[in-house]
Amino acid sequence: MLKYCFVLFLSCAIAFGVAATLSLPLSLPWSPQPTLAKSPSPSPLETVTLQLKWRHQFQFAGYYAAKAQGYYEQAGLDVQMREIPENGSPVEAVLKGEAEFGVAGSDLVLLRNQGHPVVALAAIYQHSPSVIIARRQPNLDHIHDLVEKRVMIEDHAAELIAYLKSEGIALDQLIQVPHSFTPLSLINRRVDAMSGSSTDEPFFLNQVNIPHIIFNPRVGGIDFYGDTLFTTEAQIKRYPQRVKAFLNASLKGWEYALEHPEEIIELIYTEYSPRHSRAHLRYEAEASKRLILSDVVEIGYMNPGRWHYILKVYHDLGFGKGYSSLAGFIYERYPQPNLTWVYLVFITILSILGFVSWIALRFYQLNNRIRQEVNERMETERSLRALEKRYRFLVESSPFPIVISEFETGKICYINPKAAQTFKVKPNRAIGHLTQNFYVYPEDRNCILKSLKKQGFIQDFETKLFDSKRKFFWANISGTLINFDGNLCLFITLIDITQRKQLEEQLSRLAMTDELTGLYNRRYFFQRGREELNNAVDDVSLLVIDIDFFKKVNDTFGHDVGDLVLQSVAELLKSQATPYDLLGRLGGEEFALLLPHTRLQEATYRAKNICEIIAQEKISVHCNSIQITVSIGVATTSPHDLDIRKLFKGADLALYEAKNSGRNCVVQLSRVESPD
């Protein structure tokens, strides 16, 4: 017996040693570590440049955070961030030596395949935000409906072009329009669709209530990485420590930015660019989180297989000359170690085989005792199964949906019949799926997990969920942590509160808008106007618009026709407003248009233009053609001089003069000043 055990463990030890030789981690806990000598004085910072792929916005929040929090400085770097010049390319700037690092899209792998020495350091966005946005029309519901439509496609939108090709749509089938890089072209109907970002342009369209449809390449199976941090082979070869320090500081900055979005939004708005409002940056931050997936994978994670897949898709769709190896394209943060220590470890293992053999004898002696314990445990398990059967009956009969999932991975372990009915799935088909796929806002699941880690339970948490048909509903969630099949699991109960949430949303909408025209009502217009004045950095102008002789329209045609006239005027005013303007109905036939960053002369010009357009427009109502005109009063104030009501008083005074001057005209009031 002793001889048999010795031979057995000798074989195991040799196998273990060979395996260790092939798969030891990159650094051993007993490996000698170099001692860093303390420098007598701080070294000067190395200046490096990061070439952004667009203008300053939340898309690059992690780099701003790394600089603001001092992560770059701790790494010995002074990082300068450059916006992309007009018609420029971040890859071209880095290859020319104008920048050491850059941010590019998934077409980076195409450039590598073409022989350019670019190296991907980290994929920040696990899913690309690149989409095609179209204005909703009766004959435009599918990607194929873009054929013979006016479309703006960016020069470097290889991913979107690949999406069109995969759908069998050639570029020459579209009416291509030079890209203006602004959704105004879509708003003003100069184009039918445009390439853009799911984190950016939809905000503008939502602000001006423009119905739109988004064509996402992921629907067609084109699921590529988004923003990717990169450098060149020359930089890695000449400055390996600098590249590693820059990458680590950048990833640390992204972790901070995603955990403190409001702080970074304020930093971008005040330090880098007020081009986007805080609300816009907040929208971009939320949309970016859903693409970065920091709660699912490590920030910057890159799967070599996915890069090969992206290149293969490009190659299959006719991009590039041929498919080649991607060796050297993906940066190795942890290079292969020196295996000398591995062999020393293997020799050490062999030296202790005698001791291991003695332990084998002890295991043999304990075998009988273990068998006895196994029999006792089997009896205990039979009792537990009986108890489990009783509890399972209670859960199966529950009138509330119940879901049990693994706490760490989110894999569904069990759902009761009520939950299967709610999510429209068969219970056995739901097992193994991830709960995060049913959250409309994945960050809500993170909030639930944090609360459970902190206090062990969650109660009355409201969130939006999908069923298997991708139809969403609101749910009130309560849950606790349990031990299920030997794993730490989350026990969740749901209550459908969709009807209540819809009622709340309806009440909120009624509190903000005028029911007849859909414009902001008087109360909410003044509330928003006060915010605009508080945040103003330039002149702000106000137009007060009144329909001339509107009482005569009501008396002649009736109040129903009068309501239609008010709606028609509201639509005309909407067509003349930009996404940055504030439009509302103050009551009766009186409207107001607040123009941020607009001086008196420009505001007067826009007012005259509105006056002329309405005068030329004939409103057809019930076979009647009604000609109307408006009178407009204009007032302007410097930022922080007055509140919105005093500015309105000035514009109203100008409107009064316009009516006394014969109506159908514009009267401007010189700058409204704050009283001493």
Provide the pairing of β-strand 412-415 with 402-406.
antiparallel
Q: What is the pLDDT of residues 212-234, one digit of tens each?
A: 899 998 887 888 898 999 999 99
Q: Among 35-44, 54-63, 392-401, 581-590, where is mean pLDDT lowest?
A: 35-44
Residue 596: what pLDDT?
92
d(CA 356, CA 347): 14
How many CA atoms does the CB half-sphere of 676 hold within 13 Å?
0
The model's confidence at residue 383, banded by pLDDT at 50, 70 and 90, is low
Whose structure tokens read 């001889």?
3
Read off the pLDDT of residues 418-475 as tens digits, 9 standing for 90 and up.
Answer: 878 788 788 777 788 788 778 888 888 888 888 888 887 888 888 888 787 788 788 8
Catalogue the E-assigned strands of 552-605.
Answer: 582-587, 590-595
- The 3-class secondary structure across 335-349, one letter per residue, is CCCCCHHHHHHHHHH
Confidence (pLDDT) at 327: 83
What was the pLDDT predicted at 400? 74
Which of 35-44, 97-106, 209-218, 652-661 is the least confident region? 35-44
Instruction: Please give the pLDDT value at position 391.
Output: 62
- What integer best gives the mean pLDDT of the chain? 84
pLDDT of res. 611 = 95
CATH fold for domain 130-156+167-211? D-Maltodextrin-Binding Protein; domain 2 (3.40.190)
C-alpha dist (Å) from residue 580 to 201, 511, 632: 13, 22, 20
Q: Are 51 and 102 in contact (CB under 8 A)?
A: yes
Q: How many Å apart are CA 668 and CA 635, to the nearest integer?
A: 6
Greater pLDDT, 560 or 430: 560
Pairing of strands 412-415, 118-123: unpaired
Cα separation, 15 vs 500, in Å, equals 64
First to last CA, the chain: 105
> Between 3.40.190.10, 3.10.105.10, 3.30.1370.160, 3.30.70.270, what CATH number should domain 516-672 receive?
3.30.70.270
Mean pLDDT on 631-641: 86
DSSP state for residue 330 in the 8-state scheme: B
CA distance 196 to 178: 13
Q: In what order do the strands lie in the sheet with 101-104?
A: 77-82, 46-51, 101-104, 228-232, 118-123
The domain ranges of the chain are: 47-127+226-316, 130-156+167-211, 394-501, 516-672
Confirm whether 47-127+226-316 and 516-672 share one CATH topology: no
Q: Name the β-bridge partners of 668.
A: 634
Distance CA(206)–CA(202), nearest Å, equals 6
CA distance 564 to 312: 57
Q: List, for residues 89-106, the tens digit of each pLDDT value.
A: 899 999 999 999 999 988
What phi and psi, each to the nearest 5 degrees, are found at residue 98?
A: -75, -20
User: Average pLDDT, stretch 502-513?
Assistant: 77
In 44-105, which ranges are continuous DSSP H helix?
A: 61-68, 71-74, 90-95
Say which DSSP state 269 is in: I
173 contacts 106 by C-beta, under 8 angstroms: no
Residue 581 has pLDDT above 50, yes or no: yes
* Residue 672: φ, ψ to 5°: -80, 125
Q: What is the pLDDT of residues 312-347, one digit of tens each?
A: 888 887 776 666 678 889 998 776 665 566 667 778
Q: Nearest 5°: phi and psi at 157?
A: -90, 60
Residue 504: how many CA atoms within 13 Å on its side-chain side?
Answer: 6
Closest CA relative to residue 415, chosen from 400, 432, 430: 430
CB count in 10 Å sphere of residue 629 = 15
As a whole number of Å, the CA-based R_g of the chain is: 33
Return the structure tokens found at 167. 């759908």
Q: Looking at the domain 47-127+226-316, which fold is it?
A: D-Maltodextrin-Binding Protein; domain 2 (3.40.190)
Q: Kindly report, residue by residue over 113-137, the tens digit of the pLDDT.
A: 888 999 999 999 999 998 899 988 8
Least confident of 154-163, 557-566, 589-598: 154-163
Superfamily name with CATH number, domain 394-501: PAS domain (3.30.450.20)
Which strands make up the sheet holding 457-466, listed edge to edge? 412-415, 402-406, 487-496, 472-484, 457-466
Could you give the percent of the chain with pLDDT greater than 90?
Answer: 35
pLDDT band for position 176 (50/70/90)?
Answer: confident
Q: In angstroms, how far is CA 29 from the centroid of its own chain? A: 39
